[in-house]
Amino acid sequence: MKTFQQAVQGKAVTIIAELTLQSHSDADDVARQVDLLGPWVDAIQVTDNAWSDMQMSAAVAAALVLRQGVDPIAVLTCRDRNRIALCGDLLGLRALGVTSVLLLRGLEIPEDHPDETNMVFDISSRELVAMAAGLGNLDPPVPDKDFFIGIGARVLRPAKGWAAKSLEERSSAGARFMQTQLCFNPDILRQYMQCLVAKHLTWKYSVIVSLAPLPSADKAQWLKKNLSGSRISNAVIRRLEKAKDPEREGIEICAELMREIVQIPGVTGINLMTMGNPESIRDAIKISGLR
């Protein structure tokens, strides 16, 4: 089985996709999605209670993806568990044979969340990266069991003198790939990537840019407002508003941007975030011609 790490180190464009996980998801649903997406992607990402919704654990979902012969990328966030629980998850993922993890701070739980719950944030994302990297130094050591560690990043127009301090710190802690928030603005992305290239950060990180097949203008507006760091241009929203079939238009927009973004120097690949319909992810990849 080819791993995500092997894919990003190759010459071809890397494509990964998020699994659609909901409270009612079961093993059969995961198997169906992996069968659908597996032939089109290099890895499938399993999220960690995304959008503050309760979902199947990332470790269990990763095990189910592995069972289908596809490499999983397990997401862990600092929001819901303390350092002991996070370390336990990392040890469990390593025992399962998971080789790649995406380690994030996690979005804050909104005040109007229906379940009364507290956020943890016992450690920072940098500390979580260092914890994952440090598992290779446990006694006795386990050979060939180091994680390929990723972090989240926000695409921005770098100000003059921008030091990329957080990226540098997390690279020093052990991170080797970065995944951006949604970015439907190639102009801003080009400026961001030019800065990363100039600072030699693309020597330290494989850069994965997130897109999604947006199903409607309303969904695009909601994401722009609620997903911190997302870059969704007004031109994209207007195009969805004018479309006779917004869902199909969202797939077309995603495919067009996939083709454009992978041509930007320093970009390694694309992550396709789920909007709840895995078929639309597959269709965007098909139309893009990248597979």
Judge whether residue 92 has pLDDT over 80: yes
Q: What is the structure's pLDDT at 138?
A: 65
Cβ–Cβ under 8 Å, residues 246 and 223: no
Q: What is the structure's pLDDT at 110?
A: 66
How much of the chain exceeds pLDDT 90, in percent? Answer: 83
* Residue 26 vs residue 116, higher pLDDT: 26
Q: What is the pLDDT of residues 153-191, one digit of tens each?
A: 999 999 989 999 999 999 999 999 999 999 999 999 999
Q: What is the structure's pLDDT at 24?
A: 87
Q: Which fold has domain 4-212+265-274?
A: TIM Barrel (3.20.20)
Looking from the CA of 167 toward its CB, the CA atoms found within 13 Å total 24
Judge whether residue 264 has pLDDT over 80: yes
Q: What is the structure's pLDDT at 69?
A: 96
Two tokens at 129? 């990266």
Judge whether residue 145 has pLDDT over 80: no
Domain boundaries, the chain: 4-212+265-274
Report how far residue 44's alpha carbon sits from residue 73's, in angstroms, rounded to the nearest whole number: 6
Looking from the CA of 26 toward its CB, the CA atoms found within 13 Å total 2
Q: What is the structure's pLDDT at 122?
A: 95
Q: What is the pLDDT of residues 30-86, one digit of tens each?
A: 999 999 999 999 999 999 987 667 889 999 999 999 999 999 999 999 999 999 999
Please provide the average confidence, as pLDDT, over all residues in the chain. 93
b/e 224-242 (16+ beta carbons within 10 angstroms → b): beebeebbbbeebbebbee
Mean pLDDT of 79-100: 95
The Cα-based distances of 238 to 218, 233, 243, 275, 287 in angstroms read 11, 9, 9, 19, 21
Q: What is the structure's pLDDT at 120?
A: 87
Give the pTM: 0.94
Q: What is the pLDDT of residues 132-143, one digit of tens each?
A: 999 866 666 555
The Cα-based distances of 92 to 11, 13, 60, 124, 148 in angstroms read 31, 30, 10, 20, 15
Torsion from C-alpha of 285, 286, 290, 291, nearest 10 degrees: 110
